[in-house]
């Protein structure tokens, strides 16, 4: 059993539903999943090192940026070496805006620049996830599961 941090920010519940789907899948695969919400929990960057994999979910703010509750976490990422850390990034966004899902790319790009093994599926869902979107969440979770098994 591998230890997985699932940290997310959700304003409307869309990213939260994605996080629940991903977490449930990884629990079914017998991983120890610790879920934290940036909205209510303190997520310290240094604690990322305590986990075998990290999944970060974020909504995209108007204009394509990070939500306020993720900004400090993002800024602190520069203080950590994520070399080889398995990282998945996902989130919800609104396709009406010029930049769709920018926050997902911002987090994924930063993690990659710090040496993380970022999953190739950067998952951005338009508003509320439908059944197909939730299947994509499970696909991301399976990528993380396979990476964990490979690193066992």
In a domain, 152, yes or no: no
Helix (H) or strand (E) holding 30: none
In a domain, 99, yes or no: yes
Query: How distant, in Å, are the alpha carbons of 54, 72, 82 from that of 32?
Result: 12, 26, 20
Determine the structural domain holding residue 131 and report its residue range. 3-145
- Residue 30 sits in a domain of what CATH number? 3.40.50.360
For residue 117, the model assigns a pLDDT of 98
Total domains, the chain: 1
User: How sure is the predictor about 88, in pLDDT bands with cuts at 50, 70 and 90?
Assistant: very high
Higher-scoring residue by pLDDT: 39, 139: 139
Residue 77: is it exposed, middle or buried by C-beta count within 10 angstroms (0-12/13-18/19+)? middle
In a domain, 65, yes or no: yes
The DSSP symbol for 47 reads G
> What are the pLDDT digits (tens) for 43-74?
999 999 999 999 999 999 988 999 999 999 99
């Amino acid at each position: 059993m591998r230890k997985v941090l699932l940290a997310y920010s959700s304003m409307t519940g869309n990213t939260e539903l994605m996080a629940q789907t991903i977490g449930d899948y990884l629990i079914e695969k017998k991983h120890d999943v610790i879920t934290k919400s940036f909205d209510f929990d303190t997520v310290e960057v240094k604690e990322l090192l305590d986990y075998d994999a990290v999944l970060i979910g974020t909504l995209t703010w108007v204009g394509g940026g990070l939500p306020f509750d993720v900004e400090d976490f993002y800024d602190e990422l520069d203080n950590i070496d994520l070399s080889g850390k398995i990282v998945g990034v996902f989130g919800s966004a609104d396709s009406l805006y010029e930049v769709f899902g920018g926050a997902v790319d911002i987090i994924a790009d930063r993690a990659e620049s710090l040496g993380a093994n970022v999953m190739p599926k950067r998952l951005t869902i338009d508003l509320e996830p439908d059944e197909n979107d939730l299947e994509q969440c499970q696909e991301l979770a399976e990528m993380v599961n396979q990476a964990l098994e490979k690193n066992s």
